[in-house]
Each structure stands twice: as C-alpha cells, then as structure tokens.
C-alpha cells in the first residue's frame, strides 16, 4: 500500500515536471518569442527564424507531452479514478485531457501533415496576418492550459468545485 503511494507521488512529480517544461515553453513562445518576431524582425526572414526556434522546442514539447500523458493516465489507473470522466465536478480532469489531446494532435498529426506548410504559405502571402493568427492560437492554448493548471492544483488538493 505504502509502496503504491510512493509510486503515485513519484508519478505526480514526473507529471508536473512534464507540465512545467511544456506549458512553460508555450508561455515563452506566446509572450516573448512571437511578440518579438511580430514587432521587430525583418519580414523576409522572420518565418525562418520562428521555424528554427520553435522547431527546437517542438521536439522537447513532444517528449514533455508524452511524459505528461503517460504519467497522467498512470495516475488515473493507480487511483482507480477513471470514473472522474463521468463527473462534472472533475471538469479539470476533462480540461487537462482536452489540452493534452489538442497538443498531441497538433504536434504529432496536424503539424507534420499540413499545418506547417499551410502556415508557411500564409506567411509568404501576408506575414503580419499569419503571425497574428499564430499568436491568437497560442494565446488561447496558453490561457486554457493555465486554467487547467489552476483547476488541477486546486482539485488535487481538496478544493471542492
């Protein structure tokens, strides 16, 4: 029993490490990288710069997403808490899962499939508009992610929503 609890605590620590690395990176890209590129960089090479910088983060984000997802599902299993998906008060479990699904889809499926080339084309056509759209997507995802973090910390530590 005690051993199970220790495994749970270690899994939760890994989960939070994944979240910090991943959502922290999203926060940096959203609040520092994209605004700087939007305001300062030369229109002709800013897309290439963005690709280089976010491309590096993309690999790390994939690993962090895997770590967060595996540890999250493992915790649900350890706690026998799959039923939470059927209870509205666990909206923060739904939100965590929703964020995870969106990022997993974008990073592993949509980006390599068409999103990357579509954005590149948009950036060549109208760079300002492409960066505004990119920024808006990032702001929405960051806001939802932070809401999930707040809900998850509150919910896991006994706050009754």
Least distance from C-beta 97 to ligand HEM, angstroms?
Answer: 5
Q: Which is nearer to ligand HEM, 49 or 147 (CB)?
A: 147
Q: Which is nearer to ligand HEM, 99 or 130 (CB)?
A: 99
Q: Which residues have a Cβ under 8 Å from the Cβ of 90 and sit 6 or more positions away?
A: 84, 155
Least distance from C-beta 5 to ligand HEM, angstroms?
Answer: 12
Q: Which is nearer to ligand HEM, 72 or 135 (CB)?
A: 72
Tokens 């299993």, residue located = 77
Least distance from C-beta 35 to ligand HEM, angstroms?
Answer: 22
Tokens of residue 37, six digits: 């590129």
CB–CB of 5/128 below 8 Å?
A: no
Least distance from C-beta 32 to ligand HEM, angstroms?
Answer: 19
Residue 81 per-residue DSSP state? -
Cβ-closest position to ligand HEM? 72
Least distance from C-beta 22 to ligand HEM, angstroms?
Answer: 7
Q: What are phi and psi of 41, to 5 degrees?
A: -75, 155
Q: Which is nearer to ligand HEM, 16 or 115 (CB)?
A: 16
Residues engaged in binding ligand HEM (CB under 6 A)? 12, 15-16, 19, 23, 68-69, 72-73, 75-76, 96-97, 99-100, 145, 148-149, 152-153, 156-157
CB–CB of 161/155 below 8 Å?
A: yes
CB–CB of 150/96 below 8 Å?
A: no
Rounded Cα gap, residues 83 and 86, in angstroms:
5
């Amino acid at each position: 029993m005690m051993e199970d609890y220790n495994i749970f605590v270690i899994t939760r620590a890994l989960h939070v490490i994944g979240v910090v690395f991943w959502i922290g990176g999203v926060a940096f890209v959203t609040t520092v990288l994209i605004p700087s590129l939007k305001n300062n960089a030369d229109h002709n090479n800013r897309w290439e710069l963005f690709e280089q910088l976010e491309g590096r983060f993309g690999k790390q984000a994939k690993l962090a997403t895997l770590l967060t997802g595996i540890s999250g599902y493992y915790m649900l299993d350890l706690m026998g808490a799959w039923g939470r998906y059927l209870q509205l008060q666990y909206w923060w479990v739904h939100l965590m899962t929703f964020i995870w699904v969106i990022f997993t889809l974008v990073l592993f499926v949509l980006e390599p499939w068409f999103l990357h080339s579509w954005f590149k084309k948009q950036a060549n056509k109208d760079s300002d508009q492409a960066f505004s759209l990119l920024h808006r997507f990032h702001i929405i995802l960051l806001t939802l992610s932070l809401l999930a973090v707040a809900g998850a910390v509150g919910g896991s530590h006994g706050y009754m929503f």
